[in-house]
């Protein structure tokens, strides 16, 4: 028993001395290691997935319907601003800020579709039924801004409709 106590005392002394000499021994702390891994995953991850506020998620999804086919046109920007100001009750400056920040997060056009599908999947529980209905209406209005809805936009709208429409509950105990 005295050998075990001496061994533990020696290990503790070595760790204490290493710490005071400036050697980082934080890797021995499992809680610190877990926090460090979580921070690294958040820091190195796509910033679009850190958005959780339903208003900002809705802005990303609305701008996404316009960016599916490429860059935003003047008509689409005007339709987006009009939807933001009327549905979100925002001032002109707030709508411009929200449009700019959301468009910046959706800067890579080749990733827009996959990013928005994943964002909608992660955040669909944050929306109430009324918010989801309003979101789908705004997305449709933006898609209709230039006239006919493109096939890519139609597929995106159909997927968002399926994502935000609540699933009907069955009659059985396991449904």
**Predicted local distance difference test score (pLDDT) of residue 72:** 87
Contacts of 139 (CB under 8 A, 6+ apart): 61, 62, 65, 157, 160
User: Minimum mean pLDDT among 25-34, 147-156, 163-172: which range?
Assistant: 163-172
For position 22, what pLDDT does the model report? 85
**DSSP class of 170:** -
Residue 138 is predicted with a pLDDT of 93
168/15 Cα distance (integer angstroms): 59
CA atoms of 149 and 135, how far apart (whole Å):
17
- 107 or 74, greater pLDDT: 74
Domain assignments of the chain as residue spans, ordered by start: 47-164
Q: Picking from 39-43, 61-65, 77-81, 131-135, which range would have the lowest pLDDT averaged per residue?
A: 39-43
């Amino acid at each position: 028993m005295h050998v075990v106590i001496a061994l533990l005392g020696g290990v503790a002394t070595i760790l204490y001395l290493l710490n005071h000499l400036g050697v980082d021994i934080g890797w021995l702390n499992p809680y610190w290691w877990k926090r460090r891994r979580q921070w690294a995953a958040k820091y190195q991850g796509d910033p679009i997935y850190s958005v959780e506020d339903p208003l900002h998620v809705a802005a990303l999804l609305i701008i996404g319907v316009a960016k599916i086919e490429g860059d935003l046109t003047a008509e689409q920007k005007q339709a987006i601003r009009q939807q933001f100001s009327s549905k979100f009750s925002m001032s002109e400056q707030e709508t411009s800020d929200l449009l700019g920040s959301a468009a910046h997060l959706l800067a890579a056009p080749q990733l827009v579709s996959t990013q928005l599908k994943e964002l909608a999947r992660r955040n669909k529980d944050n929306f109430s039924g009324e918010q989801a209905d309003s979101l789908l209406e705004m997305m449709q209005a933006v898609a209709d801004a230039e006239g006919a809805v493109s096939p890519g936009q139609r597929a995106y709208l159909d997927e968002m409709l399926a994502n935000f429409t609540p699933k009907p509950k069955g009659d059985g105990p396991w449904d």
